[in-house]
């Protein structure tokens, strides 16, 4: 049991696709997340492997898990949003997939920027591997923490 076990439940309840796709959360902490996707024929492409959308979805989900673990304490102040992503499909994927997502810079630096009143960005680098351990895809996801604006009361 880790301090970040709550991340899986938050991802599944907050992002319906995560639950419907079958993504599993194997390890999560504030710098790294490992997620997996079982092999399901209904998620395959025309050559019998996991569809590119599933590969990307797994990677993006893993990046979100590490981001949530790193910045979840700031949820009342900022909303995490994807700014951009790039994917390089390196080999034909076969069978179940595993995505390892790593936060590219210290969370403290990102939070310092948020505290300074800016809209910080942070990068998460993801490697997706198939059952044989082959690197099938590398994905870079750039996230931002969009500050939550204070609500104006009807009383004002």
Count how many domains the chain has.
Answer: 1
| Average confidence score pLDDT of the chain | 94
Report the pLDDT averaged over residues 69-73: 96
1 within some domain: no
Q: What is the pLDDT of residue 152?
A: 63
Task: Supply the CATH number for residue 62's domain.
Answer: 3.10.129.10
154 within some domain: no
Report the pLDDT averaged over residues 72-99: 95
61 within some domain: yes
Statement: residue 154 has pLDDT above 80: no
pLDDT band at residue 151, thresholds of 50, 70 and 90? low
Range of the domain at 125: 6-146
Asked whether the beta carbons of 59 and 86 are under 8 A apart, the reply is: no
Segment among 59-68, 95-104, 144-153 with least mean pLDDT:
144-153
Statement: residue 156 has pLDDT above 60: no
Report the pLDDT averaged over residues 43-53: 92
120 within some domain: yes
> Which residues, at least 6 apart from 49, have a Cβ–Cβ distance to it below 8 Å?
92, 93, 94, 130
91 within some domain: yes
151 within some domain: no
pLDDT band at residue 149, thresholds of 50, 70 and 90? confident
Statement: residue 21 has pLDDT above 90: yes
Statement: residue 124 has pLDDT above 60: yes
Report the pLDDT averaged over residues 30-41: 96
Q: What is the DSSP letter of 41?
A: G
Q: What is the DSSP letter of 104?
A: S
90 within some domain: yes
156 within some domain: no
């Amino acid at each position: 049991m880790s301090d970040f076990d709550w991340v899986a439940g938050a991802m599944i309840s907050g992002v319906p696709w995560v639950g419907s796709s079958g993504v599993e959360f194997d390890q999560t902490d504030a710098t790294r997340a490992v997620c997996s996707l079982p092999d399901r024929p209904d998620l395959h492409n025309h050559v019998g492997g996991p569809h590119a959308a599933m590969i990307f979805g797994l990677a993006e989900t893993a990046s979100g898990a590490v981001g949530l673990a790193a910045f979840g304490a700031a949820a009342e102040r900022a909303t995490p949003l994807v700014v951009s992503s790039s994917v390089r499909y390196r080999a034909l994927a076969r069978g179940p997939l595993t995505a390892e997502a790593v936060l590219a810079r210290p969370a403290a630096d990102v939070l310092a920027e948020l505290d300074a009143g800016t809209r910080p960005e942070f990068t998460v680098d993801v490697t997706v591997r198939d059952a044989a351990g082959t690197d099938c895809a590398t994905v870079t996801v750039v996230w931002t923490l969009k500050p939550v604006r204070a609500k104006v009361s009807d009383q004002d």
